[in-house]
Amino acid sequence: LVARMHGFGTTIFAEMTGLATEHGAVNLGQGFPDTDGPQEMLDAAKAAIDGGRNQYPPGPGVPELLEAVAAHQSRFYGIDLDPRSEVLVTVGATEAIAATILALCEAGDEVVTFEPYYDSYAASIALAGAVRRTSVLRFPDFAVDEESLRAAFSSRTRLVLLNTPHNPTGKVFTRDELELICSLAREFDAWVVTDEVYEHLVFGDAEHVPVATLPGMRERTLTISSAGKTFSATGWKVGWVSGPAEAVAAVRTVKQFLTFVGSGPFQPAAAVALGLGDEVYASLSTSLEAKRDLLVAGLQGAGLEVSVPDGTYFVVADAAPLGATDALEFCRSLPLRAGVVGVPVSVFHDDVAAARTLVRFAFCKRDEVLHEAVRRLGALR
Ligand code: PMP
Ligand code: GLN
């Protein structure tokens, strides 16, 4: 294995789902729903397969999905995109993230991001031979710290890699925080790559602010999303990136040699899903908000301090009251001790001390599954 990939081993999601299977534990580790998305979308995939759409789709994506992504950005955010030149379909958001970083970063360029970060960010930055510079979001409010953020920028900064709503914290970046980040990006002439896969999973009064809608940002922002979260189809791996034509063309050049194309029959189905009514979008976040409340109350009842998330389907809790002193060790022992799986937040940090005893639990599960997890955790005390 090449030196720049040392330390990336096996992802925490694979390890923890492996433990869940081995011990028959309740898996609140890896983030995937245990119910299916909209029936119209499922039917559209079957129709695409039966209709013979099983060969290579066009390189940039099937036209109806490119158009559906552009229509979605216009409908929800007032962002106008040319579907032919400003949208690219990828194999999940994961490929969009990797291809974008590989397309924009020379070896030695710096990428500013926040920690905890989604694991593929660090790996994709490393693959590109770039250097990550981070600012820590601290439990329990995970607010942006202006001083450390400013200190992460330099003349080598090539791009800012942002994720809102944020995995693993559930934080939804405020407009003020985003404006600060964007003003630094403009000052240092950096791209902003914004991972908005949880754009529709936002609760209560919180508002998802797409970076590309902020003044002066459209021309320096690449926006990434995916059908996986919005439509509960994480296994389909249909993602996309949108932004200025020149940058999207650069990402397309790289993408051609990573996967060429992907997700053939699922692309037209994702297009159908994107076109569904507002009530479909609203119903997922409404049902998730109730699940958030259920799990938050359960974790609090089990004695944990919890950061109540405004978005995503993750909640971070401090497991110190359950005896945790090291989140990774705690999560490795939890399946056997309690029959529950969570993910240690420390693995998403360079500054491991910032998350020494923090555990992420996913609440995109049926209510009975959440109740059972809470019951098992409560028995630990
Ligand atoms: N970004 C974030 C923040 C995520 O949480 C995930 C999925 N867990 C991805 C990207 C990857 O999305 P996909 O499955 O579409 O590749
Ligand atoms: N995005 C999901 C999570 O954060 C799963 C990612 C994965 O398995 N690679 O849990």
pLDDT, tens only, 305-337: 999 999 999 999 999 998 999 999 999 999 999
pLDDT at 381 over 80: no
232, 234, 237, 361, best to mutate for ligand 2 pocket (most atoms within 8 Å of CB): 234
- Mean pLDDT over 245-252 rounds to 98
92 C-alpha vs ligand 1 centroid, how far in Å? Answer: 7
pLDDT at position 246: 98
Atom of ligand 1 nearest to the CA of 166: 3
> Among 32, 91, 229, 364, which residue has the most ligand 2 atoms within 8 Å of its CB, making it the best to mutate?
32
In the block, which residue shows the tokens 């754009």? 199
Element (H, E) at 11: none
Residue 375: is it exposed, middle or buried by C-beta count within 10 angstroms (0-12/13-18/19+)? Answer: middle
Rounded average pLDDT over 159-185: 98
- Lining ligand 1 with CB less than 6 A are 31, 92-94, 118, 163, 167, 195, 197, 226, 228, 234, 237, 239
Give the three-class secondary structure for 202: strand
Judging by DSSP bridges, how do beta strands 314-318 and 305-307 pair with one another?
antiparallel
How far apart are the C-alpha atoms of 361 and 354, rounded to whole Å?
A: 18
| For the CA of 361, the nearest ligand | 2
How far, in Å, is the centroid of ligand 2 from the Cα of 320?
24
CA of 286 from ligand 2 middle (Å) equals 22
- Indicate the DSSP class of residue 71: H
Polymer length of the chain: 381
Report the separation in Å between the CA atom of 30 and the middle of ligand 2, taken as the mean of its atom positions: 5
- Eight-class DSSP state of 207: -
Kind and range of the H or E run holding 77: helix 63-77
């920690």: which residue's tokens?
115
Alpha helices in 302-361 (DSSP H): 327-338
- The share of the chain scoring above pLDDT 70, in percent, equals 100
Distance of CA 178 from the midpoint of ligand 2 (Å): 24
Ligand 2 nearest atom to the CA of residue 120, by list position = 9
Residue of the CA atom closest to atom 3 of ligand 2: 31
- Residue 13: CB within 6 Å of ligand 2? yes
Q: What is the pLDDT of residue 313?
A: 98
Does ligand 2 have an atom closer than 6 angstroms to the CB of 312?
A: no
- 223 beta partners: 194, 242
* Cα gap 57→66, rounded to integer Å: 12
Q: Percentage of the chain surpassing pLDDT 90?
A: 98
The token pair at 153 is 């920028």
CA dist 243 and 223 (Å) reads 6
Work out the pLDDT band at 238, boundaries 50, 70, 90. very high
Query: Beta strand pairing status for 157-163 and 191-195?
Result: parallel
pLDDT of 249 over the 90 cut: yes
**Interval 23-76: pLDDT, tens:** 999 999 999 999 999 999 999 999 999 999 999 999 999 999 999 999 999 999
Helix (H) or strand (E) holding 193: strand 191-195
Q: How confident is the model at residue 204 (pLDDT cuts 50, 70, 90)?
A: very high
User: Which domains does the chain carry?
Assistant: 3-36+279-378 (3.90.1150.10), 39-276 (3.40.640.10)
Q: Mean pLDDT over all residues of the chain? A: 97
Residue 315, burial from CB neighbour count under 10 angstroms (0-12, 13-18, 19+): buried
Question: Which residue of 94, 172, 198, 347 sits with most ligand 1 atoms within 8 Å of its CB, as the best mutation to test the pocket?
Answer: 94
**Is residue 341 a contact partner of residue 335, using CB atoms and an 8 Å limit?**
yes
301 within 8 A of 378, measured Cβ to Cβ: yes
Question: What confidence tier does 284 reach under pLDDT thresholds 50, 70, 90?
Answer: very high
Q: What is the DSSP letter of 135?
A: E
Tokens 């109350």 -> residue:
297
Cα 23 from chain centroid?
27
**Band of the pLDDT at 380, cuts 50, 70, 90?**
confident
Atom of ligand 1 nearest to the CA of 95: 16
| ipTM of model | 0.98
* 75 vs 91: CA distance, rounded Å: 24
Give the closest residue to 158 by CA, choosing from 114, 134, 190, 129: 190
Does residue 167 have its Cβ closer than 6 Å to ligand 2? yes
Q: Which residue has a Cα nearest atom 9 of ligand 2? A: 13
Question: Which atom belonging to ligand 1 lies closest to the Cα atom of 195?
Answer: 1
Q: Map residue 368 onto helix, strand or coil.
A: helix
